[in-house]
Structure formats: C-alpha cells, structure tokens
Amino acid sequence: MASQNADRSGVGATGAHENVLEIRNASVGFAMGRGTSKVLDDVSIDVHRGEVIGIVGESGSGKSMLADSVLDAIDPPGQLTGEITYYPPDGGEPIVTNELDEEEMRRFRWEHISMVVQGAMDSFNPTLSLQSHFEETLEAHDHDVDEGMVRARSLLEDVHLDPERILNSYPHELSGGMKQRALIALSLVLDPEVLIMDEPTAALDLLMQQSILKLLSDLKEKYNLTIMMVTHDLSHVARIADRLAVMYAFDVLEIGPTEDIVDDPAHPYTRGLLNSIPDVHAPLESMESIVGTSPDPLNVPEGCSYHPRCEIAKDECTLENPPLERVADEHRAACFYWEESREAIPLKKQQ
C-alpha cells in the first residue's frame, strides 16, 4: 500500500516530529515447506504523536504482527523487511528500530516504546513478588531503583491499586483484572513515550474491559502517551481511539478518524465488521457475519485480498490490488468501489 504520508519534514512548534512512528513497507515472511508465509504485507502507516490509534480486524489479519514489528520482536525464522522509524520527543536523531542490534533494542524497549503483549497476564514470574518484577526491570536498564519505585507506587495508584498490597503480592494472589492493571503500571515504570497494547481486554469481563479502557485514556492524558491498541473488538477501541486502522489479510484496508470509520466507513470489509458487532437490544436474527474466512497466508488471493468475500467485487478487483485512496481529508480506503459500498452494504444502525 502507498503511505498515507511519506513526508518526513513534519516538525511541530515544540521541535518534536508530528509523527512518533513511521512504518514504511513493513513485511514479515516465514519460509515454510509450502512456500513463504507472508503475515505482514507491505504496510505503511504513520502513528501521530499523542494519539490513540486502534489497529483492528479479525483474528489472523496481521494486527499483532504489526505491533511486534515496531519493536522487531518477530520470532525466528520470521524475517522483517521495510523500515520503522521512531522520532524522539526532543527532536533528536530518528531511530530506525529494525536496524538496532540486540543490545540497542534491549535498551530501546521499555524506555521509548513499551508493549503489553496478548496473554501477558500469565507472563509474570510466579516465583517473584510484584516488587521484584519492578526492581528487576529498573536494574536491567540501569535506572535508580529507589527513584523508580517511587514512580512505580504512583503508577499503581493511578491504576487504582494499593501499592503496598500489590508490591508484596505474588502473581497468583491477584485477579486477572488486577494483574492486567499491574502490568500496565510495570510497562510505564521507565517512562516510555509509546505504549503498545495487544488485545488488552480479551480475557476480562465486560465491566473490567470498560475499566481498563478508562484507565488507558486517563494514563494517556496524565503521561502524554501515544497508545497503539491492537484488538479485534472495534466497538470497544472506538470509545477511546482518535483514529482506526482496519487490517485484513496482513495489510491496512482503511484508516482514518474514528468518527469517520464508525459512522461512515468506506470499505466493504469495515462495513461488514461493524454489522457483525453484537447488539444486545436487537433480535438474534438481525445478527450478521461476514461470509467466508480470512485467507491462508500462503494463498492470499490476487488483486484485492477481500474480493472473494466482498458483496460488490467486480472483475477489476480480482486483477488489481487497490491503493489506499482518499475518501475524506484524513480518511483513506483501499477499494475501487468504495462510493458504491454505502448503498450496497447499509449499516445496521442506519436501517
């Protein structure tokens, strides 16, 4: 896909670049017996400084792989190509994250960009207290432990946890929601600018999901964070996201302001996703799902990857891959027939 903004001269009044991250032509492939499995396909997007951007799509769409690519955390034998550039807040020299060596990346993680991976609630070392987790993280990055623990206690209070109780506890003594909140505090203890959250509410009940989203919104404002939130749940992330990027078949098919994407989506896939969101007030028979399944990474269709499932696909869609095209000022969609999609695939709430 073409970049939505390839200009690298955008510097704000404070001297900081307007984009905190620029992802250019990022691809990830795994060599397999049947061929190369491409699980990220030439993705180019910008992450604006200070925003919450939601990366949404069905399972297997490449969302988590995009997040992993930012920190070059691709498990071997996966190979990342392209360029991912981080712009420090002080206007300092840009850092191409996928060119850092192992030691440089070890220091870069947590200090500049921190990530809470899916299932991370179970990644605490069960033999260590929560205090030991915080102290080991501070020591590993040569931070003053005493000063760092002052910040840790403040962060735990920010996420509505009692610092003394939590720090003296072991992971098994905490509920899932408490572990998730403690993990968010741990991810921020080195004062990173960017926080990547991979399915942050997947294992939580509805009430806790809403609580975590509210916490993230509050933390963003207090600590001037940029948050990149990866989730299959479009309706939840839309509550706090400034922009949404919709992924399908390992690429971005639509990106723009949240209001545009939710109220007036242009891509048939996005419209299908919105129509598949459960509505507790609607009758069961009104539930809709997208016909078909996501493609095998070893067998992505030619042309538009979505055309086998698309209600409005034409011959052109089977032959050419549409670029991200401007729909509105900051709204882009990769569809030749996006103008027809609104009438052909009405949204449930508009019916």
CA angle 293–297–300, rounded 5-degree value: 70
Average pLDDT over residues 139-145: 96
What is the mean predicted confidence (pLDDT) over 199-219? Answer: 85
**Edge-to-edge strands of the sheet including 325-326?**
113-116, 194-198, 226-231, 52-56, 243-248, 251-257, 332-333, 325-326
Does 17 have pLDDT greater than 80?
yes
Rounded distance between C-alpha atoms, residue 155 and residue 176, angstroms: 18
Q: What single-letter amino acid sits at 53?
A: I
- C-alpha–C-alpha distance, residues 54 and 78, integer Å: 24
Contact 294, 310 (CB under 8 A): no
Give, to the nearest 10 degrees, the angle between helix 130-140 and helix 145-158.
130
* pLDDT above 90 for 224: yes
Say what the pTM is: 0.91
CA distances from 175 to 165, 170, 194, 200, 261 (A): 13, 11, 26, 15, 35
At 80, is the secondary structure helix, strand, or coil?
Answer: strand
Mean pLDDT of 211-215: 90
User: pLDDT-derived band of residue 250, with 50, 70 and 90 as boundaries?
Assistant: very high
Q: What per-residue string of b and e applies to 77-114 under the rule 16 or more CB within 10 Å gives b?
A: ebebebebbbbebeeeeebebbebeeeeeeebbbebbb
**Burial class of residue 348 in the structure, from the number of CB atoms within 10 Å of its CB (0-12 exposed, 13-18 middle, 19+ buried):** middle
